[in-house]
């Protein structure tokens, strides 16, 4: 038995495609269950989920409290089997997705975390500026490079397509709720709970056959959207950094000294650059640094209250 978890917020535009792909899985009846948590949707998400109850081994849950990891923590009460897979409400699965993970878990008993390729499902051919300037992994959670089956870095385990052995997951619950999607502005990195597990020696296995398509929407291809995501990544990067090391002791006006140097360099190069692509990339670095500083101050406030 495999349990698959997804959380969804206002997913009516893509959720039917995702659930249709679950209906097309070749896994034998009784070998998997899907737990979907409606995370406070205001569109037709709840009705869409309910309409698939007679087509899938589906458990539907609802919570008005925002936060992807908070929603997933509620779903943990329904785990069955020895492998738990995570996906999203904007993913299209191949028919053999579950079989690929089941076979990999059996073939690699010395590995505890599993992940597969994530390719884009573009609404139209992406313009050249995206291909030149946008880091596909960070912005669209893609792993387009080909890797053989076997050991890989845990950094290839993105939210739309990864799994973990149930006993390891349950030993490290609950998932951290101060990181990951939560409304429109949040520290990015809901899957970052895997990183300390990898640091502790739990190995990650790449599963090439478990390739999924990540649905990219038109608004995500507008110039501002990647910059907003970089800002959220800056927030998440700061949150993850504080999990590994104490607050830096060297500051200038409440800012890390390294941050001040980096920000000034970015501003200087942006002022001197007349190349549009270079200016866009520098703007991305500026947004990252601003996101980092925002979260840095949030954490400082939390520590002051502790």
Contact 35, 19 (CB under 8 A): no
Q: Give 301's DSSP letter.
A: H
278 Cβ contact partners less than 8 Å away, ≥ 6 residues apart: 269
User: What is the pLDDT at residue 183?
Assistant: 85
pLDDT band at residue 5 using 50, 70 and 90 as cut-offs: very high
Q: Provide the sign of the torsion angle of the four alpha carbons 193, 137, 119, 49, taken in this order.
A: positive
Average pLDDT over residues 57-66: 95
pLDDT of residue 146: 82
Rounded to whole angstroms, the Cα distance separating 94 from 112 reads 22
Q: Give the model's confidence band at 251: pLDDT under 50 very low, under 70 low, under 90 confident, else very high.
A: confident
Q: Which two tokens stand for residue 180?
A: 């990951």
The stretch 145-172 carries a mean pLDDT of 95
- The pLDDT tens digits for 26-50 are 998 899 999 999 999 999 999 999 9
Residue 219 clears pLDDT 80, i.e. is over it: yes
Which pLDDT belongs to residue 231?
98
Residue 248: pLDDT band by 50, 70, 90 thresholds? low
pLDDT attached to residue 243: 82
Nearest CA among 234, 237, 226 for reference residue 291: 234
Q: Which of 216, 137, 141 is nearest to 181 (CA)?
A: 141
**Summary mean pLDDT of the chain:** 95
Q: How far is the C-alpha of 207 from the C-alpha of 262, rounded, in Å?
A: 37
Contact 198, 148 (CB under 8 A): no
């Amino acid at each position: 038995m495999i349990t698959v978890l997804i959380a969804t917020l206002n997913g009516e535009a893509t959720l039917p495609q995702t659930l249709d792909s679950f209906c097309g899985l070749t896994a034998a009846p009784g070998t998997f269950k899907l737990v979907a948590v409606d995370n406070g949707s205001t569109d037709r998400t709840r009705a869409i989920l309910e309409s698939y109850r007679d087509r899938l081994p589906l458990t539907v849950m609802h919570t008005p409290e925002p936060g992807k990891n908070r929603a997933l923590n509620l779903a943990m009460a329904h785990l069955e089997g020895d492998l738990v897979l995570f996906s999203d409400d904007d993913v299209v699965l191949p028919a053999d997705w579950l079989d690929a993970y089941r076979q990999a878990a059996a073939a690699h008993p010395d590995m505890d975390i599993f992940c597969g390729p994530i390719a884009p499902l573009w609404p139209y051919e992406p313009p050249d500026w995206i291909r030149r300037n946008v880091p596909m992994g960070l912005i669209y959670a893609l792993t387009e490079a080909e890797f053989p089956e076997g050991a890989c870095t845990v950094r290839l385990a993105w939210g739309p397509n990864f799994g973990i052995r149930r006993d390891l997951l349950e030993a490290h619950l609950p998932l951290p709720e101060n990181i990951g999607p939560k409304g429109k502005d949040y520290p990015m990195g809901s899957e970052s709970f895997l990183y300390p597990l990898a640091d502790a020696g739990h190995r990650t296995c790449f599963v090439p056959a478990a390739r999924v398509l990540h649905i990219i929407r038109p608004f995500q291809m507008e110039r501002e959207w990647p910059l907003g995501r970089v800002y959220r990544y800056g927030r998440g990067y700061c949150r993850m950094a504080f999990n590994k090391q104490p607050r830096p002791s060297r500051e200038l006006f409440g800012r890390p000294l390294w941050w001040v140097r980096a920000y000034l360099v970015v501003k200087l190069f942006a002022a001197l650059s007349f190349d549009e692509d270079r200016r866009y990339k520098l703007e991305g670095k500026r947004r990252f640094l601003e996101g980092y500083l925002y979260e840095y101050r949030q954490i400082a406030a939390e520590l002051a209250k502790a």
